[in-house]
Amino acid sequence: MASRVSVMGSVLINDNDMDRRRIELVSSIAEEINKRRTFAIISHPDAGKTTLTEKFLLYGGAINLAGSVKGKATARHAVSDWMEIEKERGISVTSSVLQFNYDGYCINILDTPGHQDFSEDTYRTLMAADSAVMVIDASKGVEAQTRKLFKVCGMRGIPIFTFINKMDRDANDTFELLDEIEKELGIATCPVNWPIGSGKRFKGVYNRHGNHVLTFSDTQKGTREGETTVIPMDNETLLLEKIGDEALSILRDEIELLDGASAEFDIEQVRKGKLTPVFFGSALTNFGVEVFLQNFLKMATTPLPRISQGETIDPVENDFSAFVFKIQANMNKAHRDRVAFMRICSGKFDAGVEVRHVQGGKVMRLSQPQQIMADERKILSEAYAGDIIGVFDPGIFSIGDTVCAPKNDICYEGIPTFAPEHFARVRQMDTMKRKQFIKGVNQIAQEGAIQIFQEFHTGMEEIIVGVVGVLQFDVLKYRLENEYNVEIKLEPLPYEYIRWIENKDEVDLNKLSGTSDMKKIQDLKGNPLLLFINQWSIGMTVDRNKGLVLSEFGRN
């Protein structure tokens, strides 16, 4: 190529130089993006998610002492609290993002509220993850909340890695645990390691790939590494000494059974979310955590491409783009601020550079871009695909919105609306404050904390609120009182299931023949929905109305 000369500032640069610099820039962006692993940890409360996260952070050097992320009983619970409700109940309603480096990787953990009263936000956070770690308590197996969160991961087909925790306590039979995961969640399992006993007789794990045993010693909580000995399977003498005759004989039988019964390891199946690699360990005593982390990081994907209007947006090839997956109000009560959390899907984000808010049709600069880790906020100058940034939101963003480089036309698929499981009729105590009431309810709904519905084919007079976790009812009441000065009364409704009508244009709702306990409602856009008390009624209604297609997820 002929070498022309351009003027950049006061420096003369020729085309060859510019090409080289461009290539260097692109490859350094690619390097940053490929280092990233962005995942969520899903589990039922008390399975050990917080303990495992703390140990991850410990390995990454992000914290010095395990136990500083959050806990229930101690003062450390306050780190991600933002509302009195959380403090009163000693739980964490909000989620935050934890970023740290380990072994050349830049890890983003999307921390999801672990309490039983989790909200729709927990589901939405999963939309921002590229993979998920599923923590299961070895003595409890697959529990309700894990099942729900898994369903959302399954819908996206993201890779899922299983950590079966608390092996230092008496555990369920290992084969039965795997069988339960396969049957209940519909995903094939492939144990990467295999436990040798559990509880007081827990001796360690057998590593299938390396054909060796890692011995367990009950080390102090919070230390970085326990005392683990690696023993090859052919070192019979040492094995007998460390794990004993009986455990060794059982292990040999189990390995034989396992090799015959378990699915072959296939990384492609893992990446499609059809096969989950399974690890056993004990987060509390720090056994098996680093092995898990190392293997997980190798197998987990770099930031995944996302779909915009039928087109695949590659994280490395494309300029900056991101979507809003969460909006949180009042993170700083003194300022009544709103923060929009965005997942960067492609390219590099430079603070101060203009971006296009696609849904708002405006070119703008994102205000105060920050990384939010527990209660710490760090102002960012740059971030990459895979990262999560929080930006100040003057009330313009909605969940699912896209921002991208001004010259591009990207619009990511919206985030589904997840089925609320609790419903209540909202009564306003002071009818004079109707305006504030409507404003408050709408704003809180826009942030995604609640979903609002109306009686079918009537006006806005009666509002029905649906929430994923019952705590959101308290949040709604609290916020309406504190922020909008409106008092409300909530009358619980008996429904637990909501279904969107996928083919609403083909169905005559007036002729719909449901069960006697079915209730027709509509969302604010007039879309019809059905409420049910139990799953049996859903099946009955589908049976009675030929062609009716119901869905658990709604599209915005």
* Site for ligand G4P, residues 108 to 137, rule: CB under 6 A: 114
Q: What is the β-pairing status of strands 36-43 and 131-137? A: parallel
251 to 270: interface string for ligand G4P, x by CB under 6 A: --------------------
State the nearest-atom distance from the C-beta of 343 to ligand G4P, in Å. Answer: 23
Closest CA to 342 of 324, 361, 316: 324
Fill in the DSSP letter of residue 412: B
Rule CB under 6 A: say whether 166 interacts with ligand G4P. yes
Nearer to ligand G4P, 123 or 323 (CB): 123
Nearer to ligand G4P, 72 or 504 (CB): 72
State the nearest-atom distance from the C-beta of 448 to ligand G4P, in Å. Answer: 23
Phi/psi at 298 (5° precision): -70, -35
Are 524 and 391 a contacting pair, CB within 8 Å? no
272 to 291: interface string for ligand G4P, x by CB under 6 A: ----------xxx-------
Rule CB under 6 A: say whether 98 interacts with ligand G4P. no
Query: Binding segment for ligand G4P among 26-34, 70-78, 249-257, 493-501 (CB under 6 A)?
Result: 70-78
Are 270 and 299 a contacting pair, CB within 8 Å? yes
Are 189 and 142 a contacting pair, CB within 8 Å? no
Instruction: Give the whole-angstrom CA distance, residue 125 versus residue 121.
Output: 6
Instruction: Give the whole-angstrom CA distance, residue 360 versus residue 356.
Output: 8
State the nearest-atom distance from the C-beta of 74 to ligand G4P, in Å. Answer: 7
Nearer to ligand G4P, 89 or 425 (CB): 89
Nearer to ligand G4P, 219 or 515 (CB): 219
Rule CB under 6 A: say whether 94 interacts with ligand G4P. no
* Site for ligand G4P, residues 502 to 541, rule: CB under 6 A: none
Please compute Rg for the chain using Cα positions: 26
Rule CB under 6 A: say whether 213 interacts with ligand G4P. no
SS3 445: helix
Contacts of 81 (CB under 8 A, 6+ apart): 87, 92, 94, 375
Nearer to ligand G4P, 71 or 528 (CB): 71
Q: What angle do CA 163, 371, 128 make, to 5 degrees?
A: 50
State the nearest-atom distance from the C-beta of 37 to ligand G4P, in Å. Answer: 20
Q: Which two tokens stand for residue 106?
A: 């830049």
Query: Binding segment for ligand G4P among 161-169, 188-196, 335-343, 397-405 (CB under 6 A)?
Result: 161-169
Query: Binding segment for ligand G4P among 40-48, 320-328, 411-419, 454-462 (CB under 6 A)?
Result: 40-48
CA distances (Å), 488 to each of 70, 83, 436, 467, 485, in order? 32, 19, 12, 16, 10
Rule CB under 6 A: say whether 141 interacts with ligand G4P. no
State the nearest-atom distance from the C-beta of 49 to ligand G4P, in Å. Answer: 3
State the nearest-atom distance from the C-beta of 359 to ligand G4P, in Å. Answer: 35
Which residue from 32, 117, 121, 168 is in contact with ligand G4P, where contact means CB under 6 A? 168
Facing residues of 298 across strands?
none
State the nearest-atom distance from the C-beta of 110 to ligand G4P, in Å. Answer: 14
Nearer to ligand G4P, 32 or 111 (CB): 111
The DSSP element (H or E) to which 131 belongs, if any, is strand 131-137
If you search the block for the tokens 């007079």, which residue do you land on? 461
State the nearest-atom distance from the C-beta of 548 to ligand G4P, in Å. Answer: 39
Percent of the chain that is helix, strand, coil (3-state, to 5): 30, 30, 40
Cα 200 off chain centre by: 34
Rule CB under 6 A: say whether 65 interacts with ligand G4P. no
State the nearest-atom distance from the C-beta of 219 to ligand G4P, in Å. Answer: 12
**Can you give the three-state secondary structure of 15-37, one letter per residue?**
HHHHHHHHHHHHHHHHHHHHCEE
Rule CB under 6 A: say whether 46 interacts with ligand G4P. yes
Are 326 and 447 a contacting pair, CB within 8 Å? no
Query: Binding segment for ligand G4P among 25-33, 42-50, 328-336, 356-364 (CB under 6 A)?
Result: 42-50
Q: Which residues of 78-90 are buried (b: 16+ CB within 10 A; e: fewer)?
A: ebbbbbebbeebe
Q: What is the β-pairing status of strands 338-346 and 321-329? A: antiparallel
Length of the chain: 556
Are 336 and 395 a contacting pair, CB within 8 Å? no
State the nearest-atom distance from the C-beta of 168 to ligand G4P, in Å. Answer: 5
Phi/psi at 132 (5° precision): -135, 145
Rule CB under 6 A: say whether 43 interacts with ligand G4P. yes
Query: Binding segment for ligand G4P among 66-74, 186-194, 471-479, 546-554 (CB under 6 A)?
Result: 66-74
Rule CB under 6 A: say whether 145 interacts with ligand G4P. no
Nearer to ligand G4P, 286 or 371 (CB): 286
Residues that bind ligand G4P (CB under 6 A): 43, 45-51, 71-73, 114, 165-166, 168-169, 282-284
